[in-house]
Structure 1
Amino acid sequence: FRDTDSDNDGVSDGSEGASDCDNDGIPDYLDTDACIPPIPSGFSPNGDGVNDYFVIPGLEDPTAYPNNSLLIFNRWGNKVYELKPYDNTWGGQTNVKGVFGGEEFLPTGTYFYVFDLGIGTTPITGYIHLKR
């Protein structure tokens, strides 16, 4: 009986232990909403081992959003970084030719991102503060 709640916690036995990535009370296997990972607002790629990479939670599992992509732009709108699929490895460097010669570390500042989950939803946009 999937609707039985034998421990009276308000969650049916059929849904006990089921993942609910957006915490809306609907188990993922029934939920039609995409789970949008929370995007951090800053990171500090300074080599101290703490927040050295721009980490988007949920991308640890490469099968979660295999077609995702990340674009990073500077304040003038120039693309300074892109990766598809993004795998939480951006350490504040550019990988776009013609920007600081390519493969250079970007200076402290505010950058803008376009993160596409690759599942047909509207890309997530925002800004990130990079502090060296």
Structure 2
Amino acid sequence: MCTTQTIGIELQGEITVYNALSANGDGLNDRFYIQYIDILPDTRNNIVHVFNRWGDLVWQTTNYDNVDRVFTGVTSDGKALPTGTYYYKISFAGKSKSGFISLKR
């Protein structure tokens, strides 16, 4: 006799933000990586903003996914940003997380 059962799995946890990127095209750390942002139910619908040191918005997206919607050290207009420190803000499910990104070319 065969039976079928369904098991529900609820993912819980927090995103982990890796705050350094070296946008130099070597394939290592070329992207701003936010671990679990596209997996956890509370963080899938998100908005990510990146600001320069003067507080000017240089890049933003909705539904950041580390693949197609990902910060690679260029502005929303496609211009390469210089080496420096940038501020990020991630908003999701009525919460937010913020901090600094170190961009090295």
**Normalization by structure 2: what TM-score?**
0.79
Q: What does residue 112 of structure 1 align with?
A: 87
Percent same amino acid among aligned pairs?
A: 37
> Which of the numbers 44, 65, 73 marks the counterpart of 1:92?
73
Secondary structure at the aligned position of 1:127 is classed as: strand
Partner amino acid, structure 1, of 2:50: I
Q: What aligned pairs does 1:1-132 form with structure 2 within 5 A after superposition? A: 28=12, 35-61=13-39, 65-88=43-66, 89-95=70-76, 102-116=77-91, 118-121=92-95, 123-132=96-105
Q: Please give the alpha-carbon distance, in whole angstroms, between the structure 1 residues aligned to 2:62 and 2:83.
A: 24
Name the aligned partner's letter for residue 24 of structure 2. Answer: N
Q: Distance in 2 between matches of 1:73 and 1:36?
A: 23
Higher RCO (Cα < 8 Å, 6 or more apart): 2
The structure richer in strand per residue is 2
User: TM-score w.r.t. structure 1 length?
Assistant: 0.64
Residues in 1 aligned to 2:79 and 2:19: alpha-carbon distance in whole angstroms: 22
Greater Rg by CA: 1
SS of equivalent residue, structure 1 residue 114: strand
Q: Specify every segment of 5 or more residues in structure 1 that has no aligned partner in the other structure, as ranges.
A: 1-17, 22-27, 29-34, 96-101
- Point out where structure 2 has 5 or more consecutive residues left out of the alignment: 1-8
Q: Runs of at least 4 residues of structure 1 off by over 4 A?
A: none
Could you say what secondary structure the match of 2:35 adopts?
coil
Aligned length: 94
Cα-to-partner distance string for 1:7-64 (whole Å, 9 max, x where unaligned): xxxxxxxxxxx77x7xxxxxx4xxxxxx321211211111000011111000343866
